[in-house]
Structure 1
Amino acid sequence: MSESMSDVINEPTAEEARLGRQTDEGAQELRPRQHEVVMTGGVWPDDDETMIINMGPQHPSTHGVLRIMMELDGETVLQAKPVIGYLHTGMEKTGEQLTYVQGATNVTRMDYLNCLGNELVYALAVENLLDTEVPERAVWMRMMLVELQRMASHLLFQATNGMDIGALSMMIYGWREREQVLRLLEMITGLRMNHNFIRVGGLAADLPDGWQQATLDVCDNVEAGVAEYETLLCENPIWQERTQGVGVITTEQALALGATGPILRSTGFPWDLRKAQPYLAYDDVDFEVIYTGNGDVYDRFLIRLFEILESVKIVRQCVARMPGGDYRVQDRKITPPPRGRIDESMEALIHHFKLFTEGFKVPAGETYVAIESPRGEVGCYLVSDGTGKPVRLHVRGPSFYNLQSVEAMVPGSMVADAVAIISSVDPVMGEVDR
């Protein structure tokens, strides 16, 4: 240790340590013991000038109750470790205590920005065990709704990501278009979020009057908004400087960590379950898988931006090709009676009551279903023992896996860039902790 540093850490006497030591000017200077100096980081050797800080769990950039432990060397991040569990609600265990009818109400609250997607993957898993096929109209309605949900989620990302990096105007613009999508979802489902609209066997209700024009109007407005975002950000040199080459991850790293969605596609790997393993009617509609190759914050922003346009394209095809017919299967075992019959028939009232209180039995077996959510692959593993409640419910949440990539992307970046990197992951902590 150098002489000057030894002078600084001159060991005080016990009395000085207790009362403090008077300087020549008469001001009191509190002096901690030497081991306290080392522990608190007051004076560290020149060759080991690092410190540990916590970002969160209250930090606004963490998108929920997330804590990031960082080791810093000046302004450079050496290590970053996510600490989760602050929002744990036990949704999987709760789902094992609920009937299959009640289950959709539980799963819709995990990723609260992909409510309809959660409901869809759960319904598909139960329908697999039941060996039930829903009507064609229900298939296309489901596809249109989850694409509207994808648009709303990516629009919120544009708002929050811009705000985190300093483009405050994006917060207003992103919320503006997202509000229109949420109002359309409210018109169709009755709620802006946590819809509980996609049910086992179909949907809760048919499409309302005027839905076609309202949907097309929203698509036009969102498309115009995306063009505005592109002009505002993609041609902005400050935005490019803050995002390009920041938070880089390779395909090998992403695959090893289980990352999916925009994170994986930003590395040049065009994996999208809607194309790779089509479900619903995705093999009957025209759309492109958006992917880039740099694996940085800018690419993840671009992918989500242009995926909004692909969702607009799919929704327009759904409007044009929406088939007629029933919106749910006509199977008394899993489908409640029409609302009008409940007022006329005691048998219909009893049927409705027993279905929603006792549920229905599902044949013994197990299944796994995965779909493409706005954040990547969300899967539902379901085990039935032949009763009215699942023995095991497990959800593969993409945010849980994607969040691990923070440890690979943040080291070597500046503290200010760490905020941009976390934002580009787009985690939803309700899904991570569930």
Structure 2
Amino acid sequence: MASTLLGFATRSLVSNGTLLKRVIPQTAAALQVTRGGKQWHPSVEDVQETAGAVLYTDPKEPNRWAKDIKPWSSRDPTPDIEVSNLTVNFGPQHPAAHGVLRLVMELSGESVKRCDPHIGLLHRGTEKLIEYKTYLQALPYFDRLDYVSMMCNEQCYSLAVEKLLGIEIPERAKFIRVMFGEITRILNHIMGVGTHALDVGAMTPFFWMFEEREKMMEFYERVSGARMHAAYVRPGGVQQDLPLGLMDDIYDFITKFAQRVDEVEEMLTNNRIWRNRTIDIGVISAEDAINYGFSGVMLRGSGIKWDLRKVQPYDAYDQVEFDVPIGRKGDCYDRYLIRVEEMRQSLHIIHQCLNKMPEGEIKVDDAKITPPRRAEMKESMEALIHHFKLYTEGYMVPPGSTYTAIEAPKVCSLSEVYCQV
């Protein structure tokens, strides 16, 4: 009974903050043990020591006690809590990361406020490896620099070496390079638009576009024997001539692919979800694009009409006609529209290359640079010697340096070649 009364008196004190008037029977004293022990219970004197009204300090005047101040509640906002943005590690192994790259991003809702890129995860020492190779053996390394723009990388490197050698390749080789360069551009834009739509949640355009992409990879395979790392465009021309029937198949493909582009654009361009996810997202002004050194679609998306195929034409680009689309806002939606329109312009360029394809050689007529045909090697000892020397020692390049740039599908591709003796 004493324990019950004491427990009730203690709870009344804490909850009400009023003076305790209850009288504790003296029988409770018999239950008291040493203060602080396990079985200790407060005595009458202990309870009376804590009797009285509950007082709170005044926040404005800490030395004054007030009765009517509301006690602290956990629901009240705490002024010293700092709100920080969400930090997300994008990659190196992320479902939306199509390559080994790590981005430490600071997000405020769905807006990226800060991005810290960590590069070098694909560093393989390519430049150092090329130093110990011949100019022909160095060519396959450029396929691996961008595995979606294979022949464009080969084209840039070949143009740089040809500039050092001071040679001019045949017209047929130029048109073949331009045609496959535009096929590579379509391959790249299909990858960009398709995976972008897949990340947003649209799976249908991804499958539609990749079905067409497989058909173009077959063109790679028929002309070079490889679907990705072709090593087809080489210094001095191309590796071999187009096989029979390939030009007809390419013509049939470009007539049907234009309809597929229209279907994909019909599904995405006016789609409400797609527009909400791309319009006014990632806006880059023209001034920032120039200051940050942007090129390619990123630069044209900000409204700057700069395309090396027009400004500094190379190979046969000065003999074909095409338009250069540009954006207005510089957001993701503009860049998407530019990629779609560039696919249409690439189809137009391929169509012109098929119609204007000249006859003739596909390699420069120089035995010191171009390997001889196999039939010629069986008839001429000099041809056999040239073949042996080319594939063991390589051809000699005059000392000097050159700087070559082309309009690659993603950005402006640069090739800087030094030759020291």
TM-score over 0.5 for the pair: yes
- The DSSP-based 3-state class of the residue aligned with 2:138 is helix
> Does residue 260 of structure 1 match 2:311?
no
Distance 1:276 1:77 in 2: 34
| CA distances 1:75-114 after superposition (whole Å, capped 9, x unpaired) | 5533112111111111122122211111211212111111
Equivalent position of 1:235 in the other structure: 270
- The DSSP-based 3-state class of the residue aligned with 2:168 is coil
Aligned residues: 344
Greater shift, 180-189 or 361-370, is seen at 180-189
Q: Which amino acid aligns with 2:364?
A: V
Distance 1:299 1:362 in 2: 44
What's the offset of the Cα at 1:327? 0.3
Flag structure 2 segments of 5+ consecutive residues without an equivalent: 1-77
Q: Which amino acid aligns with 1:328?
A: K
The residue correspondences of 1:212-361 to structure 2 (distance < 5 A) are 212-361=247-396
- The DSSP-based 3-state class of the residue aligned with 1:92 is helix
| CA distances 1:366-424 after superposition (whole Å, capped 9, x unpaired) | 110100000121011111124xxxxxxxxxxxxxxxxxxxxxxxxxxxxxxxxxxxxxx
Q: Which amino acid aligns with 2:301?
A: S
Distance 1:337 1:258 in 2: 43
Say if 1:75 and 1:315 are closer, same or farther in 2 by CA, change over 3 A: closer
Q: Which amino acid aligns with 1:69?
A: V
Distance 1:321 1:350 in 2: 37
- The DSSP-based 3-state class of the residue aligned with 1:109 is helix
> Does residue 369 of structure 1 match 2:397?
no
Q: Which amino acid aligns with 1:123?
A: S
Q: Which amino acid aligns with 1:117?
A: C
**8 A contact 1:137–1:325 mirrored in 2:** yes
Equivalent position of 2:64 in the other structure: none
Equivalent position of 2:237 in the other structure: 202
Distance 2:171 2:267 in 1: 41
| CA distances 1:100-147 after superposition (whole Å, capped 9, x unpaired) | 111211212111111101111111101101100001111111111111
Distance 2:214 2:80 in 1: 54
Q: Which amino acid aligns with 1:229?
A: V
The residue correspondences of 1:11-22 to structure 2 (distance < 5 A) are none
What's the offset of the Cα at 1:350? 3.1
Say if 1:213 and 1:131 are closer, same or farther in 2 by CA, change over 3 A: same
Flag structure 1 segments of 5+ consecutive residues without an equivalent: 1-42, 387-434
**8 A contact 1:134–1:201 mirrored in 2:** yes
Say if 1:318 and 1:77 are closer, same or farther in 2 by CA, change over 3 A: closer
**8 A contact 2:368–2:386 mirrored in 1:** no
Greater shift, 349-358 or 84-93, is seen at 349-358
- The DSSP-based 3-state class of the residue aligned with 2:407 is strand
Select 2:99's aligned residue among 64, 78, 88: 64
Equivalent position of 1:116 in the other structure: 151
Equivalent position of 1:155 in the other structure: 190
Higher relative contact order (CA 8 A, sep 6+): 1
What's the offset of the Cα at 1:345? 4.1
What's the offset of the Cα at 1:337? 0.7
**8 A contact 1:177–1:221 mirrored in 2:** no
Equivalent position of 2:122 in the other structure: 87
Equivalent position of 1:141 in the other structure: 176
Distance 1:358 1:72 in 2: 54
What's the offset of the Cα at 1:215? 0.9
Say if 1:340 and 1:53 are closer, same or farther in 2 by CA, change over 3 A: same
Equivalent position of 1:188 in the other structure: 223
Equivalent position of 1:176 in the other structure: 211
Q: Which amino acid aligns with 2:400?
A: G
RMSD of aligned Cα (Å): 1.6
What's the offset of the Cα at 1:52? 2.8
What's the offset of the Cα at 1:221? 2.1
- The DSSP-based 3-state class of the residue aligned with 1:307 is helix
Distance 1:312 1:74 in 2: 40
Greater share of helix: 1
Equivalent position of 1:50 in the other structure: 85
What's the offset of the Cα at 1:351? 2.1
**What percent of counterpart residues are identical?**
44
**8 A contact 1:107–1:118 mirrored in 2:** yes
| CA distances 1:43-102 after superposition (whole Å, capped 9, x unpaired) | 995333334331111012222011111223455533112111111111122122211111
What's the offset of the Cα at 1:224? 1.2
